[in-house]
Structure 1
């Protein structure tokens, strides 16, 4: 795991929260929860190496490859 990535993204998320908190203070609780959920989901997804993860087509190919001989 890349500790620099985790530390950098956590720092950026913290700065975003600190910057946005004064604007969120007067808003209702629903808005605050949705903001934190969106920020957390973005932080969580940034931890993955998404460009190098195989897509859904490679999963489907690996599932149906044994059946290709039967279908020909």
Structure 2
């Protein structure tokens, strides 16, 4: 993770909040909270190098490979 990427993502998130917050003036607290949580979730995910994280197929193989050995294909 390069810090330039994180800070640029944080800047984009800040611009989104600045531009959208006046439009949300009449929204409920729940809507505003959801908006902030989603922005923060996106910012947190930008910290990880998601390109190299394992996906659902790897999880499936980790679960079913030992089971297939037990069953004896």
- TM-score band, normalised by the shorter chain? 0.7 to 0.9
Structure 1 24/68 Cα, relative in aligned 2: closer, same or farther at 3 Å?
A: same
1:12 paired residue number: 12
Displacement of 1:66 after TM fit? 6.8
Count of residue correspondences: 72
Q: In 2, Cα distance between the equivalents of 1:69 and 1:10?
A: 47
TM-score by length of 2: 0.74
Q: Which runs of 5+ in 2 are unaligned?
A: none
2:32 paired residue number: 32
Q: Runs of at least 4 residues of structure 1 off by over 2 A? A: 56-72
What is the root-mean-square deviation of aligned Cα atoms in Å? Answer: 2.0
1:3 paired residue number: 3
Q: In 2, Cα distance between the equivalents of 1:58 and 1:18?
A: 39
Structure 1 30/67 Cα, relative in aligned 2: closer, same or farther at 3 Å?
A: closer
Q: Which runs of 5+ in 1 are unaligned?
A: none
Displacement of 1:57 after TM fit? 3.2
